[in-house]
């Protein structure tokens, strides 16, 4: 079994850090909440008008709030009375600000959310701070597992132009935390598609998070989609290694498909461990592709991934080497048989596969192209290997076009090959 580098993340833990900071008062300055007496607004704005009943209810609570150490239980007991005394929106904004700031300092998140909601309901939040306030409300609701409410506030924050702390990713996270991975991935996909369409950079964290959720929840098609995005946006050992390992784990493939997937992993250089090398050896089969088996075992040895004392590997390499010598001696005869009139598709494919293993991709391409026009051809397999032969010649654009024609179960494998061909073509022009 091959395991990906991706680890399951604790969504709640990762997203609550900011909410906890807010709730403890640690981020009060960052959110720029104005909380002087009665939460007065900026001097240039109209002076708030508080009702006499509200002022009467507020003053004793203000005195309690100013004492050290704070008697929070007594202060909290007075919040309902303060709320009951509200007569207008200025009262509501001031009460909400007072309740929020005091509750947040005491890590009383339910009450802090009530205070924040009162401020938002008042209509008195300055326009330029609506995004911040809604974000704080969304974070608090998230921390209280009220995910539907959190989504509403977080989306409103984003709609108001608030971009700090990436509110939209928390909307996706709310679905994940709620046990709705498909809904979260659908939402996240919409965000990613919009950024791609706009030519904007997609956050690597978004892609890794989506990939981990898809993989951990066994959503194979989503995993393939996020793998493709990840290697396209952030090509490298981590992204390519994850993409190959995840597809290997989720594809349900047999040896022919596994071979062509691991051929990609070998060319990208992301065969991470002995299990991948051993799976490659098994998929190639020393009786069919002995030259390739010898090559991949030697590569595994050189990379320190295969144990040189492993009896299985030693014996497999020995038998493969014997057959490889025979293949090299017999290749001209196999080519003649494959070129003969009436040659069977098995003979033609054997020639193509053997030549590809012998690192003669141009000759292999000829026989794969011939096989495509023969009765009984496995078109997806032959098309994949035709693309590999073209790729190995450095004909990247041609290979990409071939890979893009592959349908069926191999489509995901061919798609990764096509992406890699595109990247190699770009590197070749640099």
* 177 contacts 142 by C-beta, under 8 angstroms: yes
pLDDT string in tens for the chain (430-residue length): 333 444 323 333 232 233 333 333 333 322 222 333 334 444 445 688 999 999 999 999 999 999 999 999 999 999 999 999 999 999 999 999 999 999 999 999 999 999 999 999 999 999 999 999 999 999 999 999 999 999 999 999 999 999 888 899 999 999 999 999 999 999 999 999 999 899 888 999 999 999 999 999 999 999 999 999 999 999 999 999 999 999 999 999 999 999 999 999 999 999 999 999 999 999 999 999 999 999 999 999 999 999 999 999 999 999 999 999 999 999 999 999 999 999 999 999 999 999 999 999 999 999 999 999 999 999 999 999 999 999 999 999 999 999 999 999 999 999 999 999 999 999 988 7
The CATH number of 259-428 is which of 1.10.3470, 3.30.70, 1.10.8, 1.25.40?
1.25.40
Side-chain half-sphere of 332: how many Cα atoms within 13 Å? 1
CA distance 284 to 324: 13
CA angle 271, 278, 364 (to 5 degrees): 75
Structure tokens at 123: 């209509």
- The domains of the chain are located at 11-145, 259-428
CA distance 137 to 155: 11
* 18 contacts 165 by C-beta, under 8 angstroms: yes
Q: Phi first, then psi: give them for residue 4, nearest 5 degrees.
A: -80, 160
Whether the full predicted model's pTM is greater than 0.75, yes or no, is yes
Strand positions, DSSP E, 281-385: none
* 139 contacts 150 by C-beta, under 8 angstroms: yes
H or E element that contains 332: helix 311-339
Structure tokens at 17: 């850090």
* 266 contacts 296 by C-beta, under 8 angstroms: yes
What pLDDT is attached to residue 403?
98
Reported as a single tens digit per residue, the pLDDT across 313-328 is 999 999 999 999 999 9
* 327 contacts 291 by C-beta, under 8 angstroms: yes
CA distances from 138 to 35, 102, 187, 368, 375 (A): 20, 18, 17, 57, 61
CA distance 257 to 409: 9
Would you call 331 exposed, middle or buried from its count of C-beta atoms within 10 A (0-12, 13-18, 19+)? middle
CA distances from 268 to 242, 318, 409 (A): 12, 27, 22
Residue showing tokens 């998929």: 283
* 196 contacts 159 by C-beta, under 8 angstroms: no
Rg (CA), the chain: 32
Reported as a single tens digit per residue, the pLDDT across 38-59 is 344 444 456 889 999 999 999 9
In 79-162, which ranges are continuous DSSP H helix? Answer: 79-84, 89-105, 109-122, 130-143, 147-159
């Amino acid at each position: 079994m091959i395991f990906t580098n991706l680890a399951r993340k604790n969504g709640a833990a990762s997203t609550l850090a900011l909410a906890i900071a807010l709730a403890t008062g640690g981020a009060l300055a960052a959110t720029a909440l104005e909380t002087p007496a009665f939460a007065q607004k900026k001097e240039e704005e109209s002076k708030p008008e508080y009702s006499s009943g509200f002022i009467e209810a507020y003053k004793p609570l203000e005195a309690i709030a100013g004492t050290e150490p704070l008697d929070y239980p007594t202060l909290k007991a007075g919040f309902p009375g303060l709320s009951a005394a509200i007569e207008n929106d200025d009262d509501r904004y001031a009460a909400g600000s007072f309740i929020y700031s005091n509750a947040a300092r005491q890590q009383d998140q339910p009450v802090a959310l009530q205070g924040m909601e009162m401020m938002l309901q008042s209509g008195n939040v300055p326009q330029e701070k609506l995004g911040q306030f809604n974000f704080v409300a969304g974070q608090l609701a998230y921390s209280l597992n009220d995910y539907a409410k959190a989504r509403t506030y977080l989306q409103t924050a984003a709609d108001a132009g608030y971009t700090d702390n990436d509110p939209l990713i928390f909307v996706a996270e709310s679905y994940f935390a709620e046990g709705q991975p498909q809904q979260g991935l659908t939402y996240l996909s919409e965000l990613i598609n919009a950024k791609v369409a706009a030519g904007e950079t997609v956050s690597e964290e978004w892609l890794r998070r989506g990939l981990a959720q898809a993989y951990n929840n066994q959503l194979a098609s989503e995993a393939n989609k996020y793998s493709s995005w990840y290697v396209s946006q952030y090509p490298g050992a981590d992204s390519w290694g994850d993409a190959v390992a995840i597809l290997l784990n989720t594809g349900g493939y047999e040896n022919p498909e596994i071979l062509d997937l691991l051929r990609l992993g070998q060319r990208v250089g992301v065969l991470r461990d002995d299990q991948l090398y051993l799976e490659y050896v098994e998929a190639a089969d020393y009786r069919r592709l002995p030259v390739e088996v010898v090559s991949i075992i030697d590569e595994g040895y050189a990379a320190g991934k295969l144990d040189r004392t492993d009896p299985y590997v030693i014996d497999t390499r020995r038998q493969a080497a014997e057959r490889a010598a025979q293949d090299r001696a017999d290749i001209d005869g196999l080519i003649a048989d494959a070129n003969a009139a009436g040659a069977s598709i098995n003979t033609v494919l054997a020639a193509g596969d053997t030549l590809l293993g012998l690192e003669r991709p141009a000759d292999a391409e000829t026989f794969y192209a011939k096989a495509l026009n023969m009765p009984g051809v496995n078109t997806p397999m032959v098309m994949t290997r035709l693309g590999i032969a073209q790729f190995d010649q450095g004909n990247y654009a041609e290979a990409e076009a071939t890979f893009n024609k592959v349908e069926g179960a191999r489509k995901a494998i061919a798609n990764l090959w096509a992406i890699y061909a595109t990247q190699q073509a770009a590197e070749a022009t640099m």
